[in-house]
Structure 1
């Protein structure tokens, strides 16, 4: 096995820390970077070099720093985050050889967009199975808001905008509204900030996560959890969970990952109603 020098950016987040630990334990040399000088990944015994990275904006300045870093430390591989991939998007062809994601550019960046994912899942003639177990969803663009599709569904409603479609600073957004009238009133302003976004109505149930490792079209590993506590409490990230299994949810996730043709690690979120055994893909 050839040991490599691996750059792990955004070492302040837990996902990057997990990569540092796993790759470092395997014997690779880890270069960890973060905008924060106190990033948790800097304190791992598996980190060989800790560096404060510049902000992703302006992207041109960040790319200049990245080029110097790659040359100075002879980087073999970059473990990317959404922030990094958005920053280097205009130059992605230069760096793609260092990024361990086998997908093409279109497939890779689609993974960072709720709008693109739900647009694909909602197309009726692509795969009828993918149209099922989807929350009531309106696709909002400058030419069509489609909010009328949510009139028969109760609130609250969630406006979800992707960093990839931000017109200025690349940041994502999730905002909660109690009426469609409230959402309609802010659509023009949000379209000044994002070229497109989705609005979804609330679906009840507990949070479920399906985790898959798929490579060359084959699922090599899988795991599922049921969320017991979330932050915030009415829907968010898991703060307490337990391993769990639901075969129909698993098969739904398999259908979606196969449709997306995603190779690597993926995670699908669901809401499961224990009273009806119904479920909805939420992310």
Structure 2
């Protein structure tokens, strides 16, 4: 574990690479390029960002015991928006005063996290697990304070075996034990289509399941919960909820007076984004009584 710890410490130094701009606006001063769908960074005062703060608060509330160090984000099927939810949750955790976040792309079949941050064809987790790269060369500073990412890396023929390897388990254990203020968010592949979420189940503290409103079949959600087991599923994010009226929106969010950048007449793009990606966190207890 000593060598791994030295590698992780090195990754905290200035030698950690920062992604170079490969796309167009928006960009930050350090040339890191972000997708503007990262609402918790670009629209931190919006009603959407507030829902992610609620999610963070629920995860960290005393009723759940100790704060979870490792959070697995997955979905029953593909196309639910789990990666976008994972990214915005990681940003929200990093913005907490005393927390750091590491976002790991564990979907080695279809890695996508690096693209959201403007890094294409980046080496990452798979390259580390097969022994082709060292960890300090793979961690990326995002330009968002206290948020690093570990991309998925090059495509491999045996993603399930890599995710279930002793080397992967050792990496997670080391990250959990060495940093008391760091939370690791693992973006995984879908439950029904792949094996990896069930493999990762044993090394994470909790699981959040992403469901797309009006799209994901109820039976698929039930089957995913059956495969994973209920013990570590702390909640469900209902994504892409369509509020057809102001009254319905008010039922969930109340007045909009506290969100100065949401629904502004001068910012139609932000308004459209907010209506598309409103996410409601439903507690596990509510789901069990359906």
> What's the TM-score, normalizing by structure 1?
0.27
User: Does 1 or 2 have the higher relative contact order (CA < 8 Å, sep 6+)?
Assistant: 2
* Bigger CA radius of gyration: 1
Which structure has the highest strand share of the two? 1
